[in-house]
Structures are given as structure tokens and as C-alpha cells.
């Protein structure tokens, strides 16, 4: 039995751009929220120009990043720097329950659209603000990107080999983690507003989101004074058809020799203790490498599973799409788009009972101007023509 979408009736204005804000609102839309994406008239969300693009041909309506992050939304264009544009936005704010933005903290107040201004328009309104370092503090207005936040949040210090410079995760894990945190916090704030009629500003600091991911390191430092550093417990090795990771925790060592078909390692004095294994780790790697290269990555994964060792293969894009686990759960969705065509999209990071997530395609730039400005705010087509001519929409 299918249930109604949990967020049916929730009205959201999406001022997000790039990843963190749009990912938050994508999740809200997936659970049934009515999300209107507000984009700049002169090109829209910068993610439209980021790609990747089908056949590597850039086009503002074909960016894979934009198409993934903005499923299930409507798009309008609006120049928030113009007086008329601000007036239109205030009218939309009266309609909305939630506004999500990920500008620098100074931007919304400078436009006269900060929380203090919006609260006067609608006291129950929730404003979710995502920024690099939060709305307060000495770093408030600092710029940053995924790497700088990954470093400032403390995680980079723990990743990589001890004799090499630190590494960060690939992709944009900081942005997606921040968007997911904003999604949860927005729902909490909205629930509070529903119960009390009181809105509030939700303050998401990407730095703090990352700091929460490695609290154990900070607790260890507080308790012992030791700083958790990079180590060689997890390594990446080449297999015959790709790459695998393998972890060799001290308490697991007695299971390793048999799993590798090298029982003699158990009595080898070079590997008998944790200290000696660290001292002779390069020799262990020399023995391990031929074994790895003689197996496929999936074989190594299953050998590790059978021996209760944390071995895993590094899945590439083809592995993900072909994965029987993803297929069994219906994770990937195929959507048609008037410009990008028929493409496969990743699904959602959570399931709510048997609720059917909304997987409608991403909107074209300004596709819903008439629907929103005329149908929602009561303007006529002639008004839209004038607004467009004056650079407002």
C-alpha cells in the first residue's frame, strides 16, 4: 500500500546554488515538498555550467550535476538585486514555509532579505542558511571550497599515508554532508513552526558538519593528549582488474595468513607482534602484492568477507550501475529530459517506509515563470513581458 508523501503541502523557496543548498531541497522535493527554485536570469545556477555533459558538449540544460541536484523542482528566474525583484521575492516569502540558501552570510542581509527582514513578513517562516563557517564567528565571511573546509574541519589530518602529505576525499563530500545536515535541521525547524507558529533561522556551518564526523579524534586528544594521526591500517592494492582496499587491524592478524593462503606468516618472527609488523610492513607488502594481482577485486572482497576481514573493492561507475544490490533495491532511476535525453540518475540516501519518492526531471531555466508569477502571484502575461524586458526575471 502506497502512502501519501510525508512532506506534501510543505512549500519551499530554493535560493541554493552549486551543491549544498540544492541537495537539501532535492531531498525535500523527493519527499513531496513543493519546491520553487529561484535562479538568476543571466544563466541561472552556476551548476548548469559545471557538467558533466552528454557527449562532453556543454549546454546549460544538460549539466549532469544540475540535473541530479534539482529533480522534482520548479524553476523561476528572479533578479534579487533589483527593487522589483526583491518585492516579488517578498511576495513569494509570504507563500513559503521554508527558504533555503547557501550564500555567504553577508548576502541575504545586504539584499534586505535576511532573517530579521523575512520574519517581519511571515513570523512562522524557516530560513535555512548554509555557509562555510556559519553565520557568526571570526571566520564568518571567509571564502572556502571543499578542500579548505575538509582541512579546516579536521578530517584531512587523518587521511593518507603517514609519510606523505594529507589527502582529502574525492568528489564534494563536504557539500553533500552539509546538504544532508540542512535537510534534517530544516525538518526539525519546520516541525517546531507547525507546533508553535514560531519560525527561526537554521545555521549550518560546513566546517562544523565535518568536525562532527571525527569526534573520536577530539575526544582522544582531550582524554590522552595524543593527536590521532595517519596510519597504514588501510591500504589500497592493485587487483587483476582494478583496485581493492584491505585493513589489517592488530586483533585480526591471526585470520590474515589463512585467508591469504600463507599460513607460514603466522609463525614468521617478522610479523609475530604488532610492533614487528609495523617495522617489516614493506616486506609484508612485497609478499601481499603478487597475491592481490592474482585475484579479481570481487574475489578479494569475498575472501575477506568469508574470513571476517575488512577487504573491499573500489567500485567504479560501471560497478555501481551493474551492482546486483543497487538493482535489487531499485536505487537508480531513468528520467527523460527534453535536452539531456534519457539518463540514469542515482536514487535517494534514505527510505521512509514504502513511500514513493518523487523523481521528476530537473526544470529548464525559468520554465515555470508563468505558472508561478501568474498562477501563484496573480500577474498577467503582459506583466511578465515587462519584467523580462527590465531584467527582473
* Cα torsion angle, 356, 358, 361, 367, sign: positive
Buried b (16+ CB within 10 A) or exposed e, 296-333: ebebbbebbeeeebebbbebeeeeeeeeeebeeeebee
The pLDDT tens digits of the residues spanning 318-362 come to: 999 999 999 999 999 999 999 999 999 998 888 888 888 888 999
Res. 144 pLDDT band, cuts 50 70 90 = confident
Rg (CA), the chain: 25
- Upper half-sphere CA count for residue 245 (Cβ side, 13 Å): 11
Is the distance from CB of 348 to CB of 333 less than 8 angstroms? no
Which tens digits make up the pLDDT trace of 258-315?
999 999 999 999 999 989 998 998 999 999 999 999 999 999 999 999 999 999 999 9
Measure the CA–CA gap between 165 and 174, rounded to whole angstroms: 20
At 163-192, the pLDDT tens digits run 777 777 778 989 999 999 999 999 999 999
DSSP per residue over 60-86, as a string? TT--HHHHHHTTT-EEEE--TTSHHHH
Question: pLDDT tens digits for 88-121?
Answer: 999 999 999 999 999 999 999 999 999 999 999 9
Per CATH, the homologous superfamily of domain 234-320 is formyl-coa transferase, domain 3 (3.30.1540.10)
Where do the domains of the chain lie?
Answer: 11-213+325-389, 234-320
The residues facing 12 across adjacent strands are: 35, 98
User: pLDDT at residue 216 above 80?
Assistant: no
Structural class in CATH, domain 11-213+325-389: alpha beta
Straight-line distance from the first to the last Cα atom of the chain, in angstroms, rounded to the nearest whole number: 42
Residue % of the chain over a pLDDT of 90:
77
Mean pLDDT, rounded, for 20-45:
97
Do domains 11-213+325-389 and 234-320 share one topology? The answer is no
pTM of the model: 0.90
Amino acid at each position: 500500500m502506497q502512502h501519501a508523501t510525508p512532506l506534501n503541502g510543505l512549500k519551499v523557496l530554493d535560493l541554493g546554488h552549486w551543491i549544498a543548498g540544492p541537495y537539501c531541497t532535492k531531498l525535500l522535493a523527493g519527499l513531496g515538498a513543493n519546491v520553487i527554485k529561484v535562479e538568476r536570469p543571466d544563466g541561472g545556477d552556476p551548476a548548469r555550467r559545471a557538467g558533466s555533459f552528454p557527449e562532453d558538449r556543454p549546454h546549460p540544460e544538460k549539466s549532469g550535476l544540475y540535473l541530479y541536484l534539482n529533480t522534482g523542482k520548479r524553476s523561476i528566474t528572479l533578479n534579487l538585486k533589483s527593487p522589483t525583484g526583491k518585492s516579488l521575492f517578498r511576495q513569494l516569502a509570504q507563500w513559503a514555509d521554508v527558504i533555503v540558501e547557501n550564500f555567504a552570510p553577508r548576502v541575504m542581509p545586504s539584499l534586505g532579505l535576511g532573517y530579521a527582514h523575512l520574519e517581519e513578513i511571515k513570523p512562522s517562516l524557516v530560513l535555512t542558511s548554509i555557509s562555510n563557517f556559519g553565520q557568526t564567528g571570526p571566520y564568518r565571511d571567509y571564502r572556502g571550497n571543499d578542500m579548505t573546509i575538509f582541512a579546516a574541519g579536521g578530517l584531512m589530518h587523518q587521511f593518507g599515508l603517514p609519510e606523505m602529505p594529507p589527502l582529502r576525499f574525492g568528489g564534494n563530500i563536504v557539500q553533500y554532508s552539509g546538504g544532508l545536515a540542512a535537510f534534517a535541521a530544516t525538518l526539525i525547524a519546520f516541525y517546531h513552526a507547525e507546533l508553535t507558529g514560531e519560525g527561526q533561522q537554521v545555521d549550518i556551518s560546513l566546517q562544523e558538519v565535518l568536525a562532527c564526523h571525527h569526534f573520536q579524534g577530539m575526544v582522544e586528544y582531550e582524554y590522552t593528549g595524543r593527536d590521532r594521526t595517519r596510519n597504514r591500517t588501510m591500504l589500497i592494492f592493485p587487483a587483476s582488474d582494478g583496485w581493492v582496499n584491505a585493513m589489517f587491524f592488530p586483533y585480526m592478524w591471526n585470520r590474515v595468513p589463512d585467508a591469504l593462503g600463507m599460513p607460514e606468516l603466522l609463525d614468521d618472527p617478522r610479523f609475530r607482534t604488532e610492533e614487528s609488523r609495523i617495522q617489516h610492513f614493506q616486506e609484508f607488502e612485497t609478499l601481499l602484492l603478487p597475491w592481490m594481482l592474482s585475484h579479481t577485486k570481487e574475489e578479494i572482497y569475498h575472501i575477506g568477507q568469508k574470513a571476517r576481514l575488512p577487504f573491499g573493492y573500489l567500485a567504479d561507475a560501471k560497478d555501481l550501475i551493474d551492482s546486483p544490490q543497487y538493482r535489487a533495491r531499485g536505487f537508480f532511476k531513468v528520467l527523460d529530459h527534453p535536452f539531456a535525453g534519457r539518463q540514469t540518475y542515482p536514487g535517494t540516501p534514505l527510505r521512509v517506509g514504502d513511500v514513493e519518492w518523487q523523481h521528476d526531471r530537473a526544470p529548464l531555466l525559468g520554465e515555470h515563470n508563468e505558472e508561478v508569477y501568474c498562477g501563484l502571484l496573480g500577474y498577467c502575461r503582459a506583466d511578465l513581458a515587462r519584467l523580462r524586458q527590465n531584467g527582473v526575471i
